[in-house]
Structure 1
Amino acid sequence: MQTEANVVHLKRVVAEQTNPSPVGRLPVALTQVRDKAALQLKQALQALFDNADDSLFEMADRATSNTEQNAYFEAMRDLRLKRKVIERAFLQKVFESFSLLNQYEIGKPAPQLDVLDSSALSLVQEEELEESVAIDTMVAKVLNRDGQALGHVTQRINTLVSKTVDDKSNPLGPRFLCEAFAEATRSLEVEIRVKLIVFKLFERFVLSSLGEIYAHANEQLINAGVLPNLQSQRPARPLPAAGQAAGRAPGVSLPVDDAGMQEAFSVFQELLAQVRDVALPQRQRPADALPISSNDLLRLLSHMQQQLPVSAQADIDLRDQVDSLLTRASARSGKARMVGQVDDDVINLVSMLFEFILDDRNLPDSLKALIGRLQIPMLKVAVIDKSFFARGSHPARRLLNEIAAAAMGWADQDDVQRDGLYQKIDQVVQRLLKDFVDDPAIFAELLADFLAFTGDERRRSELLEQRTRDAEEGRARAEMARLQVEQALNERLLGRTLPEVVVRLLQEAWSKVLQLTCLKHGSESPEWQAMLTTMDDLIWSVEPHDEPEARLQLLQLVPNLLKALRDGLNGAGFDPFAAGDYFTQLEALHVQAFQRFKKSMAEAPETIPDEASHELGHGLAELDLPVVLAVPEEPPAMVEVVEEIVLLAPGEARPAGEECQLPDDDEALLKVDQLGVGSWVEIQEDEEHKLRCKLAAIIKPTGKYVFVNRTGMKVLEKTRMGLAVEFRRNAVRLLDDALLFDRALESVIGNLRRLKGA
């Protein structure tokens, strides 16, 4: 008897070796984290797609060619069609990544290399490079903002699963999520520039919510007892621009734990060492000079902070001041002293940073003096804490950046002491100069206070900005309605000779009815068409008509016409006394026409068909017109409309002259089209006055660009062409709203690298 109890099937063995082992069950706590995060990611994705149409339509509206515009419209259609597919693919990637955390892969076959098509290689590589750079940039921003919270999630996950997880392989990490989204959008048939816009939407609506997702994940894991006492051991934040300075690819962050901080600072030290003989002044020091400790240096700086006049601290040379104090101290003690190399590098870096800051054209001159007084406090905090150069979230750096951001829209004025922002910055500076000795906690305290102040100011300005936008949009709708009414009037009146009262009635009274109807219902509505029909009927009713059928039609038309005119004027709130005067004159015109009808019937009844004569006679009899006298009637005053009708709002003047026209590809127009809402600019009004303002709205129907000051009040209005003319004469300068410290750091590193290569 044959049995299979001890028989081993070779095919089954091969299959078991080549397939991954079953998925390991996730701990309950991690399953809860996954489900909560998936729900939050799904909601964020839905927000992305809900807003994608608006963003792409706006880009299409600003397109400079039909081809470019069609590309955006096709992208909108493709994105709508594939929305569910992309959502499903993205979330499936997230779930799969979680499911693999407790699964070992055995016998995984090596990846097969595809045969490359050399003809398509260049384009593919270029697009993949742009996509890769975009992903690196997005990842770097998230790590800079939420790196610490992500690091805690990663450490807690590692205690629950069998695999080793890092920030890159973490299913909730920005690197994995960006790559999963890029993979999910592979099916989109769009150009790379459109895909980059989609990536920006992913950053705006999905990646911006990661801080909240990490907070919930950490809270859930802490509640489950997973590393509840975990301390901030590794705030994973990238070093802005330093990675590039050290030869790293953009977007790759330096480690910034205690060892990483030292590595980041050593990047700067290495650059300084390579250019020290070229870029830095040489100091004559005795050969036996001994370096002072960092604590001694802090005491020297505190002495400078207290003793130097406040006005002198804005543009002092820190290196010269420290050397001067050391020289006097050495003379008194009889021992030559010098600043140690590490602290000397810190002094040099802070000095170069403030040289950039004080030369920065984005800062108003009157506030540069205030910010310049922060040199010594910033140097002291850099001596105490080297993470000052590497950590974007450092309170001292953030305070400097927030002050600079608040000062972006500040305009120079005569009485600065009455300005709330100037006084607040002055308070911050005075507090640091007076109270900061060696405890950097004061920066966090001042930062929180300053953020509360600017938050209140921002809320007030945003409210006023919104009111300004609403008012301008209302003006734009009213202006477009006026243009519609002007067009309707000119189409019907221009070149015609009509009774003067009818022309005045249409231009002065009925135009208001038309404008109100257009505003309330639109120019495609039945209500608008009905008002146009009433206007056409009125014009027809005062023209001469000899045909019996036309006379009969007029007889039937007049009562309803007068009622429609009365209802329209009453609905528009038109002055009833003026309206009564119009109707008196209008009725006189119609009575004269009907009297002429009766007279013609009496004089030549045979010219009118019997049926028409009967109906016309019956209708005229109902009107009970007065007896026709033999005296000829006085003809109504007539007017020929020879000039285009222009309707002006109250207090509005007729535009003076034609606006300058520039070709569509003009460089100045391209600069205008690149302006986005929220952009800050400085406009040279005349030789002495400059205006700093923010673009608050682009009113598309009228092409108006509306600018506000930092309080949200409207200060300037320009057309697209008018703004381009200002750009052409170099009267407009864009202000860089990037973080001040980061721009200074990038500039210093760039200068050092250029000197190194020189």
Structure 2
Amino acid sequence: MKTDAKVVHLNKVAAEQPPTSPVGRLPVALIQMRDQAAHQLKQALQALFDNADDTLFEMADRATSNAEQNAFFEAMRDLRLKRKNIERGFFQRVFESFSVLNQYEPAAPPALDAVSFDNLSLVQNDELEETVALDAMVAKVMSRDGSAVTHLSTRLNAMVSRKLDDRSNPLGPTALCEAFLEACGGLGVEIKVKLIILKLFEKYVLGSLDQLYAEANQALIAAGVLPELKSPAPRRQPGRAAAPLPGEGGAAQAALGEQAEQSVQEVFGALQQLLSQARGSAMPRRELPGDALPISSHDLMRLLSYMQQRAPTQDGADFDLREQLGSLLTRASAKSGKARVVGEVDEDVINLVAMLFEFILDDRTLPDSLKALIGRLQIPMLKVAVLDKTFFGRGSHPARRLLNEIASAALGWSEQGDAQRDSLYQKIEQVVQRLLNDFVDDPAIFSELLADFLAFTGDERRRSELLEQRTRDAEEGSARAELARRQVEQALNQRLLGKTLPEVVVRLLREAWSKVLMLACLKHGVESAEWQEALATMDDLVWSVTPHEDQQARLRLLELVPGLLKALREGMASAAFDPFSTGDFFSQLEALHVQAFQRFKRPPVGAEVDDAQRAALAEVGIDLPLLELPAEAAEPDAAAPQMVAVVEEIVLQAPGAPRPLEAEVVLADDDESLQQVDNLRVGSWVEFQEDDEHKLRCKLAAVIRPTGKYIFVNRTGMKVLEKSRMGLAVEFRRCAVRLLDDALLFDRALESVIGNLRRLKGA
């Protein structure tokens, strides 16, 4: 009976990956090439928009009717207003097409929908005109630069997992035209005007693609990506290569696929050539006995399988594959009486894989405790390379992708007391053990393990991203609160610093009203009416307890106090200030205001307190005598209030956290360490050397601009470190922090091997 208990459905795994999921990171060389191309495209788009006004104005000047002229003028205005949106949309589409190149996407059969003649309709005339225009534009570029585009597609196929052709190439004319057309979707212009804009795109953007393709190919050649491919001339003669006809699309795609596959096969040949040249110059040649008999690849696989069964007892970091294999061949030769050696092609494969793993096991990006596990994959990877030489040239090869995904997942893994209890360590160990136990000669096991490992890391990533987002939200909230505290401190110090006021008023503003100001700042901002009203209430309170002698001040005080006390009470209630403390504050304030009234001399006729004012004061707890006596006859004042001079700046502390100390070391603005900090991007992994024995690996999760904080999280998304820009620069300067290279491990190893072989060749 068949069972699918161990079957992993690839479609389900792929469906769980969001469109922008960073499952597969792009190689550094590809990122640099992309950014360089984006810069050239940006300049070309600027030229387009700079010339669009003149072109549309000329068309308007030649218009045959007012309606046509108005259409061109409206298009000019619309294009100016939406220029930034079009540029942003275009580059977003271009960058998105690059971001998905290394995502795992198993092929799925096309869904066949039921056809109903009722649903069929003719293509709209405008859409048809757009399609015809785009096809003509693409055909011109392919006729001129088709070879350069194909070479670029081939080189991309050697670096990424997704299968590309000239049509799906992110920098191909088809993708660029579709991206621009989609970005222009918001333009409310007629088809006639849109076609003119497309012509401008053809002239200023597509017209300069020959230079873009030449430089992109050259950048990848400089990075060691298929340098043996002959670079095409920047421009092709018209008529040398025509665009495929609509009916020939399938055949053209098949031809492109075959050409890409052939290019992938050529990678191993190029590596062999470099290895042969290096062996002839700096590396010793193979010295074989005259009667040596090469063993077949099948026999080599049997020997490797024998070694593989004993590999679990070996430390992968110290395992010398060539030495072990040589020992087995010596024993086999002694037993058979004939010298047995590995064939030349298989010997090249062994040397290349050995050099790859020498780089991997020396790589400082991999944690030491995981190197031993990954090192045990050397024999399975060698067996795959013997079976399938495209292992070296195809970025989408399942075995190569599995190694890259394991290394990417291990990037944030930190040394722990009991490493084997960590879920990631256990998963990697499970994958390694499964390969050592079950892999004989069927590479399909790598696809199964890759899908299973991606499902595992996908679940881990979703959990860490959720916690990381919560960490960011909390830090941004803290930053907003810190910024609000600074605003409140500034407002308090502007009004109180240098003044001598009753102690109760200073304490009320510092302890209670500061909370009201914080709430207004956080909820409404410093430009809001609520913030201004809170400041005005504070100003009125300070004025009301400041001694005044003129009668106008007395009249203002009479009018001010009832509303002031009401505003204070409502504000403190909205900030949920302690009701008992509020009552104490108001009792002392009332006494202060009574004393303020009693300090005034008898008012002139017409300035007496009327019944309405007396009632308003009584309502807030201030009872004035019915007959106001002259100053000489008034009762002696109550005890004078305790006064304090505000001579130090008011500093508000964050709840439950001491105020951070400023960095002791201040570096110059042009210091190289500060530039290193500024070049850090969110998502970068770094390693801090905490002391001689302990290291901390963490990821930059957020840069909180208002406070200048750099927030770092661990693999699970939990905050582990917080640094200021200056503090982080000091760490860089004393070499206590190191940026981890998050480029694909296999690709970096292959680049290193190619570079070493070229150096040996020239030695």
TM-score, normalized by length of structure 1? 0.71
2:376 and 2:396 map into 1 onto residues whose CA distance is: 22
1:740 and 1:250 map into 2 onto residues whose CA distance is: 30
Which range moves more in the overlay, 311-320 or 284-293? 311-320
Can you list the C-alpha shifts for 1:449-472, whole angstroms capped at 9, x where unaligned? 100100000000000000000000
2:562 and 2:156 map into 1 onto residues whose CA distance is: 72
Which residue does the alignment assign to 2:451? 448
Relative to structure 1, is the Cα distance of residues 489 and 510 closer, same or farther in structure 2, using a 3 angstrom cutoff? same
Can you list the C-alpha shifts for 1:517-560, whole angstroms capped at 9, x where unaligned? 10000011000000000000000000111110111100110000
2:303 and 2:221 map into 1 onto residues whose CA distance is: 29
Which residue does the alignment assign to 1:175? 172
Which residue does the alignment assign to 2:638? 633
Query: Out of 665, 679, 684, which is 1:660 matched to?
Result: 665
2:559 and 2:716 map into 1 onto residues whose CA distance is: 61
Shift of 1:476: 0.3
Relative to structure 1, is the Cα distance of residues 397 and 79 closer, same or farther in structure 2, using a 3 angstrom cutoff? farther
1:651 and 1:98 map into 2 onto residues whose CA distance is: 62
Say whether the 8 Å CA contact 2:157–2:260 is kept in structure 1: no
Map 1:614-629 onto structure 2 (within 5 A).
614-615=608-609, 619=613, 623=618, 624-626=623-625
Which residue does the alignment assign to 1:751? 756
Relative to structure 1, is the Cα distance of residues 732 and 382 closer, same or farther in structure 2, using a 3 angstrom cutoff? same
Map 1:93-242 onto structure 2 (within 5 A).
95-96=131-132, 99-100=135-136, 141=156, 145=160, 148=163, 167-168=165-166, 170=167, 174-177=171-174, 180=177
Which residue does the alignment assign to 2:228? 246
Answering whether residue 545 of structure 2 is matched by residue 542 of structure 1, we say: yes
Say whether the 8 Å CA contact 2:316–2:373 is kept in structure 1: no
SS in structure 2 opposite 1:243?
A: coil
Identical amino acids, percent of aligned pairs:
63
Which residue does the alignment assign to 1:328? 331
Shift of 1:317: 1.8
Can you list the C-alpha shifts for 1:705-725, whole angstroms capped at 9, x where unaligned? 100001000001111111111
Query: Out of 366, 374, 384, which is 2:369 matched to?
Result: 366
Map 1:322-721 onto structure 2 (within 5 A).
322-597=325-600, 600-601=601-602, 608=604, 610-611=605-606, 613-615=607-609, 619=613, 623=618, 624-626=623-625, 630-656=635-661, 659-721=664-726
One-letter code of the match for 2:443?
P
Shift of 1:403: 0.1
2:509 and 2:154 map into 1 onto residues whose CA distance is: 63
2:484 and 2:644 map into 1 onto residues whose CA distance is: 26
Which residue does the alignment assign to 2:54? none
Relative to structure 1, is the Cα distance of residues 664 and 636 closer, same or farther in structure 2, using a 3 angstrom cutoff? same
2:367 and 2:232 map into 1 onto residues whose CA distance is: 31
SS in structure 2 opposite 1:706?
A: strand
SS in structure 1 opposite 2:315?
A: helix
1:550 and 1:135 map into 2 onto residues whose CA distance is: 86
Say whether the 8 Å CA contact 2:155–2:225 is kept in structure 1: no
Which residue does the alignment assign to 1:25? none
SS in structure 2 opposite 1:387?
A: helix
SS in structure 1 opposite 2:314?
A: helix
Can you list the C-alpha shifts for 1:463-502, whole angstroms capped at 9, x where unaligned? 0000000000000000000000000000000110000000
Shift of 1:634: 1.1
Relative to structure 1, is the Cα distance of residues 407 and 133 closer, same or farther in structure 2, using a 3 angstrom cutoff? farther
2:87 and 2:385 map into 1 onto residues whose CA distance is: 51
One-letter code of the match for 1:511?
S
Aligned length: 592
Answering whether residue 313 of structure 2 is matched by residue 310 of structure 1, we say: yes
Say whether the 8 Å CA contact 1:94–1:171 is kept in structure 2: no
Relative to structure 1, is the Cα distance of residues 743 and 248 closer, same or farther in structure 2, using a 3 angstrom cutoff? farther
The two structures, once aligned, show a CA RMSD in angstroms of: 4.0
Map 1:31-70 onto structure 2 (within 5 A).
none
Higher RCO by CA contacts (8 Å cutoff, separation 6 or greater): 2
Which range moves more in the overlay, 315-324 or 581-590? 315-324
1:718 and 1:102 map into 2 onto residues whose CA distance is: 50
1:425 and 1:175 map into 2 onto residues whose CA distance is: 38
One-letter code of the match for 1:718?
K
Relative to structure 1, is the Cα distance of residues 400 and 85 closer, same or farther in structure 2, using a 3 angstrom cutoff? closer
One-letter code of the match for 1:744?
A
Can you list the C-alpha shifts for 1:92-124, whole angstroms capped at 9, x where unaligned? 997246655999x9xxxx99xxxxxxxxxxxxx
Relative to structure 1, is the Cα distance of residues 460 and 279 closer, same or farther in structure 2, using a 3 angstrom cutoff? farther
Shift of 1:176: 1.4
Relative to structure 1, is the Cα distance of residues 254 and 266 closer, same or farther in structure 2, using a 3 angstrom cutoff? farther
SS in structure 1 opposite 2:599?
A: helix
Say whether the 8 Å CA contact 2:312–2:436 is kept in structure 1: no
Say whether the 8 Å CA contact 2:160–2:394 is kept in structure 1: no
Say whether the 8 Å CA contact 1:694–1:709 is kept in structure 2: yes
1:751 and 1:456 map into 2 onto residues whose CA distance is: 38
Query: Out of 294, 302, 315, which is 1:299 matched to?
Result: 302
Which range moves more in the overlay, 619-628 or 713-722? 619-628
Relative to structure 1, is the Cα distance of residues 386 and 93 closer, same or farther in structure 2, using a 3 angstrom cutoff? farther
1:666 and 1:706 map into 2 onto residues whose CA distance is: 22
Say whether the 8 Å CA contact 1:292–1:340 is kept in structure 2: yes
Say whether the 8 Å CA contact 2:666–2:726 is kept in structure 1: yes
SS in structure 2 opposite 1:705?
A: strand
One-letter code of the match for 1:273?
S
Shift of 1:271: 0.3
Can you list the C-alpha shifts for 1:410-434, whole angstroms capped at 9, x where unaligned? 0011201110000000001111111
SS in structure 1 opposite 2:696?
A: strand
SS in structure 2 opposite 1:737?
A: coil
One-letter code of the match for 1:578?
S
Which residue does the alignment assign to 2:83? 81
SS in structure 1 opposite 2:608?
A: helix
Gaps of 5+ in 1: 1-42, 45-58, 60-73, 112-127, 151-166, 204-237
One-letter code of the match for 1:708?
V
Relative to structure 1, is the Cα distance of residues 395 and 570 closer, same or farther in structure 2, using a 3 angstrom cutoff? same
TM-score, normalized by length of structure 2? 0.71
SS in structure 2 opposite 1:512?
A: helix
Shift of 1:614: 3.4
Which range moves more in the overlay, 559-568 or 649-658? 649-658
Shift of 1:657: 5.2
Relative to structure 1, is the Cα distance of residues 250 and 528 closer, same or farther in structure 2, using a 3 angstrom cutoff? farther
Relative to structure 1, is the Cα distance of residues 259 and 500 closer, same or farther in structure 2, using a 3 angstrom cutoff? closer
SS in structure 2 opposite 1:682?
A: strand
Gaps of 5+ in 2: 1-18, 21-34, 36-49, 51-78, 94-126, 182-196, 235-255
